């Protein structure tokens, strides 16, 4: 198990380097002279020089990359172009809201997706299965920016059960925190729940034909043992991948959700940075999120060992 | 047998199998009721977008403050927005932006992903390792975040947004094309062709591209769905199409602001986006089911 | 029935006129038709035939596992200890399975859940059927593993299936099946997937356990060699029907059905120098059965009459055969 983990983590290094290179290279996508472009048409010569120095554009790029990466590894992503506030500080300030949104949403999508998919797969071909399958096909395609306003309208405005927008930090009031995140988390969870349900259904259908499930039936195990224990644990192996992939997607979609629900997270700050051409902040965010996803993917692969003893043995 | 003979006979065989393959595909596809429905829907949307000035009942930009937030009726079939603009007409014109933008993005993704995928799959070795690693790295960064980052660096406008979406999707196409190229490479007739002195480029053109086309077709359908969705999201945020031009995402975004006054303003553009994305997905799945078995067998 | 060769003195399992159908692209097809036999306490009966003859389906029907594979029992009666199994609902049947009737399958490599340890799965079965604490069940599992000849059972009980060889996995499956001391054990090709030396060990183990526990054993196999070593009686199936029943000695000495004779002739090892003599042709598909005897197209003794009427299973001096020429043919057996 440890060897498996070590081997997988070794593969992470070149990936992380590439992610950092992509983040760094974003600046080179700027057409023409980045400093002139970023400063805008009404900038003075002084402002342009200021930006040039701020981005370190006066040095050759390998030197810049090395020092940028060196700083980044130590948690220094530079300062925002105009506000001059440390990018790292902004990211850490914003991360808790984004992480709580994603965590809650992941929990909701698993709590809906796994049981729904299990039931559909176990009762394959029944009316309920078809109903659920159709629901997940549509669910996968519902854009968050369509689901979110609809949820706001129904639960936030018409029924007035939950706050429509805004965010309360958990440190201020845990109950209000949960209430403020409920609608955004549900909006964010819908696609994931549908995806997880689809994969769970496929997994259950596949596993229930296996010989060991027949053995479990032949040994007279109760349905909950055959389904809940033997079928589900084996069917979960591919589902874990899907859940892992969801995390990346959730980080992306949370940008939209944070904007719609007015949550002060990383995503809403990123949008502001995009409007402001705040390249250092954009680079820092891409690097942080890319790193998080690479590590999450590695963790997902390693967790295979738990679900699948054969993988553990193969390492 | 001379090389010319060999080429002719192999082309003859090729076209014969392509013919039967096409027949088999059509026979299977005809049974995919949902996929056909999706295709019909998409064709209708595309035709109304192309002929928007003739199809749309109103000028999408003509305002009428007396009709602000009008509900659906005989004058405005799907109602009107805050400025009294006809929602149906705006959606029909919006389809132009949404579909054209999606096509642009998929074109960018294809131009980037397909050639590199073919080369990596055929060459294997270091080229493949590096290309695959880059694809993995790009895929590690959440699609929307990377797209926004690219837009942020390039300046927000529709073309840049579509370039960004194309770059983000390219690794997905790369992967599909690469694995198709690898499986073709393993076939014995490639060895035979190479042994008879046919160049790699010719092999790519005559053997790999035809075999890659089927899975690519499926992926392009799915990619178009993704691009419609992504364009809508980016324009929804105000980073894509700039008003007064309006794609579905822009219309939806404007509707969201006035959610309480007229909920229908999010319902119709939302439905347009949802149905179109769904149609591309269903079409892609249908194509996959109609093509799938042959790909695996051959 | 009592005079029939397929009956037993103290029957544990009684099957009468069993028919099983499966849904296929040709509609519902009968895969097992009119099968009747009994298995007595302490007795080992071989159910033999080529693959696809319905022998495994018959076994699955006894366990009530036909529905899981989109099939149904369309006719007949299955009694275990006099209790009509087909009248039970699925919950009652689950309590019978593993407790009163247990099964060992052909594929030891895939028949144990790879995600759990051996002990976990054995304890689960024991505690499902018997009032035992976790530690009692674990203790009992260790004893069972020891009994089926697994060395170092205290350590092996915490092994995952992939850590065990095929032979050991089959022993584990046998231990699991016998853990609640069932009245009937069905073994479906229990040795087919194993290599020859392990085959013999597993067969010896089954015979020893049977002698000890006194259960009835139904051994489903295509291998007459296995039958000759372990079974008292043999039931031969062909294309979903019983074609011959006899005691093992009688069957080997003098087969009455040409199909049985052909199978005996194809036994390896009798004449090591001669090439094997497999039965030519294939089993007719269920949707295209010949009008007369279903073996007639492959039968080297067929006469014109065999192609017109489908023969019934006829008792011939304490045994039975489904052949028009059972009386007049003198088919070669295997001299002992």
Tell me the average pLDDT across B133-158.
88
User: Residues C64, C123: one domain?
Assistant: no
Whether residue B121 contacts residue B181, with contact meaning beta carbons closer than 8 Å, is answered with yes
CATH code where residue C50 lies: 3.40.50.300
What pLDDT shows up at residue A58? 74
- The residue of C113, C126, C128, C192 whose CB has the most chain A CBs within 10 angstroms, and thus the best one to mutate to test that interface, is C113
Q: Which of B64-68, B199-203, C86-90 has maximum average pLDDT?
A: C86-90
Distances (CA, A) of A185 to A93, A181, A191: 20, 6, 11
Q: How far is C94 from chain A (nearest CA, A)?
A: 4
Mean pLDDT of all residues belonging to chain A: 85
- Strand-strand pairing, C216-221 and C319-321: unpaired
* Least confident window among A103-107, B19-23, B106-110, B281-285: B19-23
Planar angle of CA A292, A294, A295, nearest 5 degrees: 65
Over range C130-136, report the average pLDDT. Answer: 93
* Inter-helix orientation angle B87-123/B125-140, to 10°: 150
Q: State whether A282 and B278 contact (CB < 8 Å).
A: no
Q: Give the H or E element holding residue B184.
A: helix B158-186
Question: Do C132 and C93 share a structural domain?
Answer: no
Burial (0-12, 13-18, 19+ Cβ within 10 Å), C207: middle
Are C198 and C58 members of one domain? yes
Tokens standing for residue B216: 């690519």
Identify the pLDDT of residue B293.
46
C-beta atoms of A307 and C129 within 8 A: no
Q: What is the pLDDT of residue A314?
A: 52
Q: Residue C273: what pLDDT?
A: 54
Q: Of B134, B144, B156, which has the smallest distance from its Cβ to A253's Cβ?
A: B144
Q: At CA A214, angle to CA A211 and CA A218, rounded to 5?
A: 140
C43: in domain? yes
Report percent pLDDT > 70 for chain A.
Answer: 94
In contact, B168 and B138? CB cutoff 8 Å:
yes
Domain range summary for chain B, segments of one domain joined by +: 1-31, 32-297
Lowest-confidence pick of A233-247, B103-117, C141-155, C248-262: A233-247
Q: How far apart are CA B145 and CA A138, in angstroms?
A: 24
Same domain, C175 and C46: no
Pick the residue from chain A with its C-alpha nearest to B252.
A146
Between the ranges B22-26, B76-80, B114-118, where is the mean pLDDT highest? B114-118
B256 vs C161: which has the higher pLDDT: C161
Does residue B12 surpass a pLDDT of 70?
Answer: no
Alpha carbon of A225: minimum distance to chain B alpha carbons (Å): 34
Cα–Cα distance, B143 to B149 (Å, whole number): 10
pLDDT tens figures, A40-99: 667 778 878 877 777 777 777 888 888 888 888 888 888 887 778 888 899 999 998 999
Confidence (pLDDT) at C138:
94
Pick the CATH number of B32-297 from 1.10.10.10, 1.10.630.10, 3.40.640.10, 1.10.3720.10: 1.10.3720.10
Local confidence band at A244 (pLDDT 50, 70, 90 cut-offs): confident
**Cα angle C58-C64-C68, degrees, rounded to a multiple of 5:** 100
Q: By C-alpha distance, which of A198, A182, A273, A271 is closest to A241?
A: A198
**Residue C27 burial (CB < 10 Å; 0-12/13-18/19+)?**
exposed
Residue A4 makes CB contacts below 8 A (sequence gap 6+) with A302, A305, A311, A312, A315
DSSP code per residue over A158-221: IS--S-SS----TTT-HHHHHHHHHHHHHHHHHHHHHHHHHHHHHHHHHHTTSHHHHHHHHTT-
Lowest mean pLDDT among B28-42, B121-135, C211-225: B28-42
Smallest Cα distance from C115 to chain A, Å: 6
> Over pLDDT 90: what percentage of chain C?
40
- Residue C266 sits in the same domain as residue C208: yes
* DSSP assignment of C127-177: HHHS---HHHHHHHHHHHHHHTT-SSHHHHTT--GGGS-HHHHHHHHHHHH
Give the closest residue to A286 by CA, choosing from B142, C204, C95.
B142
Domain-terminating residue out of C181, C201, C230 = C181
Distance of alpha carbon A289 from alpha carbon B163, whole angstroms:
21
Cα–chain-centroid distance for residue C167? 19
| pLDDT for B5 | 40
Q: For the ranges A155-159, A307-311, B2-6, C200-204, which has the lowest average pLDDT? A: B2-6
- Determine contact, residues A218/C102, Cβ cutoff 8 Å: yes
Q: Which chain A residues touch C193 with a CB distance below 8 Å?
A: none
CB of B67 within 8 A of CB of B80?
yes
DSSP state for residue C254 in the 8-state scheme = S
Range of the domain at C283: 11-100+182-321
A27 domain-assigned: no
CA-CA distance, B259 to B267, in Å (whole number)?
Answer: 10
Residue with token string 């390998």: A62
**C166 plus C88 within the same structural domain:** no
- Please report whether residue C130 resides in a domain: yes
Distance CA B254, CA B262 (A): 11
Position C70 pLDDT exceeds 80: no
Q: What are the tens digits of pLDDT across the range A258-289?
A: 998 889 999 999 999 988 888 889 999 999 99
* pLDDT > 50? residue B271: yes
Neighbouring chains of B at 3+ CB pairs under 8 Å are A
Report DSSP state, residue C316.
E
What number is the average pLDDT over the span C108-131? Answer: 91
> Is the model more confident about B235 or about B56?
B235
Q: DSSP letter for C298, please.
A: G
In terms of domains, do C291 and C208 share one?
A: yes
B146 touches chain A (CB under 8 A): yes
pLDDT of residue A105 exceeding 90: yes
B and A make contact (3+ CB pairs below 8 Å): yes
A262 in any annotated domain: yes
Same domain? C55 vs C156: no
Does the pLDDT of residue B108 top 50, yes or no? yes
d(CA B98, CA B248): 6
Full residue range of the structural domain in which residue A223 is found: 87-314
Minimum Cα–Cα distance from B146: chain A residue? A286
Q: Please, what is the average pLDDT of chain C?
A: 86
Where residue C270 falls among pLDDT bands split at 50, 70, 90? low
pTM greater than 0.80 (yes/no): no
| Per-residue pLDDT at A304 exceeds 70 | yes
Residue A56 lies in a domain: no
Please report the pLDDT score of residue A67 as a whole number: 84
A252, B142: Cβ pair inside 8 Å? yes
Residue B14 has what pLDDT?
46
Residue-wise pLDDT tens digits, C144-196: 999 888 889 999 999 998 889 888 898 899 999 989 989 999 998 888 877 88
So what's the pLDDT on residue B295? 43
Query: Total structural domains in chain A?
Result: 1
Whether residue B95 has pLDDT greater than 60: yes
What per-residue confidence (pLDDT) applies to C276?
A: 52
Residue B3 has pLDDT above 60, yes or no: no
Residue whose C-alpha is closest to residue B203's, from B216, B215, B187: B187
pLDDT tens readout for residues C50-68: 888 888 899 999 998 887 7
C207 and C170 belong to one structural domain:
no
Distance CA(C5)–CA(C242), nearest Å, equals 12
A303–chain C Cβ distance below 8 A for any pair: no
Q: How many residues does chain A have?
A: 315
Per the structure, how many domains does chain C have?
2
Q: Is residue A224 part of a domain?
A: yes
- What residue in A sits closest to B253 (Cα-Cα)? A145
**CATH number of the domain residue A255 falls in:** 1.10.3720.10
Q: How far apart are CA A109 and CA A192, in angstroms?
A: 6
Asked, for residue A126, whether it belongs to a domain, the answer is yes
Within-domain flag for A22? no
Average pLDDT over residues C196-211: 85
Using CB atoms and an 8 Å cut-off, which of residues 191-210 of chain A contact chain C? 210
The rounded distance, in Å, linking the Cα atoms of A150 and B21 is 45
Highest mean pLDDT among A43-47, B39-43, B255-259: B39-43
Question: Is A212 close to C111, i.e. CB distance below 8 A?
Answer: yes
Q: With a cut of 50, say whether residue B37 has pLDDT above it.
A: yes
Q: What is the pLDDT of residue C236?
A: 94
- Residue A78, Ramachandran bin (φ over 0: left; ψ between -120 and 50: alpha; else beta): left
Q: Does C260 lie in the same domain as C219?
A: yes
Which residue in the block uniquely carries the two structure tokens 């009652």? Answer: C92
Q: Which two tokens stand for residue B201?
A: 């480029």
End residue of a domain, out of C181, C208, C237: C181
Rounded CA gap, B180 and C289, in Å?
44
Whether the predicted pLDDT of B74 surpasses 80: no
Q: Is residue C144 a part of any domain in this protein? A: yes
Which helix (H) or strand (E) element contains residue B36?
A: helix B33-50
Give pLDDT, residue A71.
Answer: 86
Q: Out of B38-52, B55-69, C175-189, which region has the weakest mean confidence (pLDDT)? A: B55-69
With an 8 Å Cβ cutoff, is C67 touching chain A? Answer: no
pLDDT of res. B171:
93
Q: Comparing B10 with B170, which gets the higher pLDDT?
A: B170
Distance CA C195, CA A284 (A): 61
Q: Is the pLDDT of residue B75 over 80?
A: no
Higher pLDDT, C268 or C312: C312
Cβ within 8 Å, pair A143-B233: yes
| C contact chains, 3+ CB pairs < 8 A | A
Instruction: Say whether pLDDT at C119 is over 50.
Output: yes
Cα B296 versus chain centre, distance: 23
Q: What is the pLDDT of residue C120?
A: 92
pLDDT in tens, A139-151: 887 888 888 888 8
Residue C109 counted as domain residue: no
Q: What is the pLDDT of residue C6?
A: 63
Domain final residue, candidates C152, C181, C210: C181
């Amino acid at each position: 198990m440890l060897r498996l983990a070590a081997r997988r983590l070794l593969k992470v290094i070149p990936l992380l380097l590439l992610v950092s290179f992509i983040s760094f290279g974003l600046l080179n996508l700027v057409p023409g002279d980045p400093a002139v472009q970023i400063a805008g048409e009404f900038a003075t010569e002084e402002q342009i020089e200021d930006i040039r120095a701020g981005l370190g554009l006066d040095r050759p790029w390998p030197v810049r990359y090395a020092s940028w990466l060196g700083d980044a590894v130590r948690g220094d992503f530079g300062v925002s172009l105009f506000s001059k506030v440390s990018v790292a500080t902004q990211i850490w300030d914003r991360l808790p809201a984004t992480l709580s949104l994603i965590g809650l949403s992941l929990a909701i999508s698993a709590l809906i997706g796994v049981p729904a998919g299990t039931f559909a797969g176990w009762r394959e071909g029944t009316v309920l299965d078809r109903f659920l399958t159709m629901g997940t096909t549509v669910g996968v395609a519902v854009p968050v920016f369509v689901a979110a306003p609809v949820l706001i309208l129904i639960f936030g405005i018409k029924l007035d059960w939950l706050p429509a927008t805004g965010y309360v930090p958990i440190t201020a009031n845990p109950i209000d925190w949960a209430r403020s995140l409920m609608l955004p988390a549900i909006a964010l969870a819908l696609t994931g729940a549908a995806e997880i349900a689809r994969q769970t259904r496929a997994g259950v259908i596949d596993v229930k034909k296996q010989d060991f499930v027949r053995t479990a039936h032949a040994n007279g195990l109760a349905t909950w043992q055959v389904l809940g224990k033997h079928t589900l644990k084996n069917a979960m192996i591919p589902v874990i991948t899907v859940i892992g992939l969801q995390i990346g997607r959730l980080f992306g979609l949370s940008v939209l959700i944070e904007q719609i629900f007015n949550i002060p997270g990383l995503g809403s700050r990123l949008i502001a940075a995009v409007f402001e051409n705040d390249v250092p902040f954009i680079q820092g965010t891409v690097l942080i999120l890319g790193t998080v996803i690479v590590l999450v993917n590695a963790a997902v692969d390693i967790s295979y060992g738990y679900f699948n003893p054969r993988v553990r043995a193969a390492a | 047998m001379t090389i010319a003979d060999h080429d002719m006979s192999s082309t003859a065989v090729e076209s014969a199998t392509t013919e039967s393959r096409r027949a088999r595909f059509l026979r299977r596809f005809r049974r995919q009721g949902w996929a056909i429905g999706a295709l019909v829907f998409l064709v209708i949307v595309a035709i109304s977008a192309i002929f928007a000035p003739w199809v749309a009942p109103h000028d999408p930009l003509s305002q009428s403050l007396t009709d602000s937030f009008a509900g659906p009726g005989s004058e405005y079939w799907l109602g009107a927005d805050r400025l009294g603009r006809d929602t149906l007409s705006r959606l029909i014109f919006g389809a132009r932006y949404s579909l054209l933008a999606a096509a642009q993005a998929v074109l960018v993704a294809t131009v980037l992903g397909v050639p590199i995928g073919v080369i990596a799959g055929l060459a294997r070795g270091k080229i493949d390792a590096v290309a695959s690693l880059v694809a993995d790295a790009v895929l590690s960064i959440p699609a929307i975040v990377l797209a926004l980052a690219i837009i942020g660096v390039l300046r927000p406008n529709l073309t840049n947004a579509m370039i960004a979406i194309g770059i983000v999707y390219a690794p997905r196409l790369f992967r599909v094309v690469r694995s198709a190229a690898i499986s073709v490479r393993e076939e014995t007739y490639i060895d035979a062709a190479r042994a008879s002195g046919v160049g790699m480029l010719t092999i790519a053109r005559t053997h790999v591209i035809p075999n890659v086309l089927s899975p690519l077709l499926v992926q392009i359908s799915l990619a178009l769905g993704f691009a419609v969705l992504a364009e809508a999201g980016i324009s929804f945020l105000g980073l894509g199409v700039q008003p007064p031009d309006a794609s579905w995402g822009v219309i939806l975004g404007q509707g969201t602001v006035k959610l309480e006054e007229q909920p229908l303003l999010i319902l119709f553009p939302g439905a347009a986006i949802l149905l179109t994305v769904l149609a591309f997905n269903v079409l892609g799945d249908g194509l996959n089911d109609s093509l799938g078995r042959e790909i695996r067998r051959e | 029935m009592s005079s029939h060769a397929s009956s037993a003195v103290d029957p544990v399992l009684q099957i009468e006129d069993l028919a099983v159908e499966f849904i296929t692209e040709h509609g519902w097809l009968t895969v097992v038709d009119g099968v009747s036999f009994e298995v007595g306490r302490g007795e080992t009966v071989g159910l033999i035939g080529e693959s696809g003859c319905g022998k495994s389906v018959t076994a699955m029907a006894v366990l009530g596992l036909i529905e899981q594979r989109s099939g149904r029992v369309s006719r007949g009666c299955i009694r275990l200890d006099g209790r009509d199994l087909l009248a039970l609902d699925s919950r009652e049947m689950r309590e019978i399975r593993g407790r009163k009737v247990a099964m060992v399958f052909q594929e030891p490599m895939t028949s144990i859940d790879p995600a759990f340890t051996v002990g976990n799965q054995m304890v689960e079965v024991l505690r499902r059927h018997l009032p035992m604490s976790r530690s009692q069940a674990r203790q009992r599992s260790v004893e069972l593993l020891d009994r089926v000849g697994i060395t170092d059972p205290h350590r092996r009980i915490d092994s995952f299936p992939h850590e065990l060889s095929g032979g050991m996995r089959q022993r584990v499956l046998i231990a699991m099946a016998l853990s609640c001391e069932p009245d009937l054990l069905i073994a479906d090709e229990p040795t087919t997937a194993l290599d020859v030396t392990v085959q013999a060990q597993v067969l010896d183990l089954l015979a020893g356990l049977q002698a000890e526990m006194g259960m009835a054993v139904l051994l489903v196999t295509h291998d007459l060699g296995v039958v000759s070593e372990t079974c008292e009686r043999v039931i031969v199936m062909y294309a979903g029907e019983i074609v011959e029943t006899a005691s093992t000695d009688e069957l080997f000495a003098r087969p009455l059905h040409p199909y049985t004779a052909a199978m005996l002739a194809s036994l390896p090892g009798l004449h090591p120098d001669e090439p094997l003599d497999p039965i030519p042709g294939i089993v007719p598909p269920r949707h295209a059965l010949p009008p007369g005897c279903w073996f007639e197209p492959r039968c080297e003794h067929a006469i014109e009459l065999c192609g017109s009427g489908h023969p019934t299973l006829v008792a011939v001096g304490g045994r039975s055969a489904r052949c028009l020429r059972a009386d007049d043919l003198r088919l070669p057996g295997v001299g002992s």
